[in-house]
Amino acid sequence: MRYLADKKIGVIGLGNMGGAVINGLLSSGAVKRTGVIGFDNDAAKRVVAVKKYGILATRSIIEAASHCDIVILAVKPQNIDEVLREVSSYGKGRLYISIAAGIKTRRIEKALSGILRPRVIRVMPNTPALVGEGISALCKGKYATAKDLKAADEIFSSVGETVNLNERYFDLVTAVSGSGPAYFFYFKEALIEAAVRLGMDKATAKRLVSKTALGAARLLIESGHEPGVLRQRVTSKGGTTERAIKVFDRAGMKKIVEKAVTAAARRSKELSGE
């Protein structure tokens, strides 16, 4: 069952992620162009959204949110309080979906003080949503319903896959999948730089690394095997891969990754103000 067919969706914030959501909704056919209204303080971003997606972009949050059933808060964490103050006085009866990193549902509910039992869904997406390959974690606030969660699931399924999790895991989700693309980019960056230093041209190195990463990800997903099993299949005894893996092991790579994820999760908790 589609929950969005007769809904109007307001997207507050027309940056990369807001744009990705709009593109996903329209490309998937979940809603029509007339069913999406956008807003951004940056007039240039409003112009781009109108030209690129053919949606209506308003000059104020009130114009956007007051005509919608669902309001997606695609704004930076430092701007969320100001946005919530603006919508709290007239936003009764709407579903609010926030993708502001580190901002917990109870903080949003408290900020929407002018609304009785505000319905809030929190989402932690990641940047591969820009190419329809995202993974988004979803959780309900105190007053949101199962139907609200399904609506959010339908929205973010249009830009990738979703997983429903208890909010207590969201700092870890932020550290693993929210920040995760940067870790992979970092490793790919290092592989490309190593290849170039050893004599390969950069364009070829980038192509080899990018396609290898894409193929490895697809193999992991489609084979159903654990990463360790697939690694062992490539790692012949006495071979080139084994020699490289031993270098990683001596450097304590797995421990380094654990420390990095722990640090990112801790920082996510700090940003939430708790």
Last residue of a domain, one of 112, 147, 170: 170
Q: Residue 256 belongs to a domain with what CATH number? A: 1.10.3730.10
Q: Are residues 198 and 151 in the same domain?
A: no
Q: Are residues 113 and 188 in the same domain?
A: no
Contacts with 190 (C-beta within 8 Å, 6 or more apart), sequence order: none
pLDDT the model gives residue 113: 77
- How many structural domains are present in the chain? 2
Q: Are residues 241 and 144 in the same domain?
A: no
Both ends of the chain: CA-CA distance in Å? Answer: 38
User: The pTM is what?
Assistant: 0.91
pLDDT the model gives residue 1: 47
pLDDT the model gives residue 234: 97
pLDDT in tens, 141-156: 999 999 999 999 999 9
pLDDT the model gives residue 67: 87
Q: Return the number of other C-beta atoms located less than 10 Å from residue 188's C-beta.
A: 16
Backbone angles phi, psi at 228, to 5 degrees: -60, -35
Q: Are residues 156 and 33 in the same domain?
A: yes
Q: Return the number of other C-beta atoms located less than 10 Å from residue 77's C-beta.
A: 15
Q: Which residues pair with 123 in a beta bridge?
A: 138
Residue ranges, the chain, pLDDT below 50: 1
Q: Are residues 233 and 185 in the same domain?
A: yes
Give the integer Cα–Cα distance in Å for 227 and 213.
13
pLDDT in tens, 158-186: 999 999 999 999 999 999 999 999 999 99
Give the integer Cα–Cα distance in Å for 253 and 128.
25
In a domain, 3, yes or no: no
Give the integer Cα–Cα distance in Å for 189 and 205.
10
In a domain, 116, yes or no: yes
Radius of gyration of the chain (CA): 21
Going edge to edge, which strands form the sheet with 56-58?
Answer: 56-58, 36-39, 9-12, 70-73, 95-98, 119-124, 134-140, 160-164
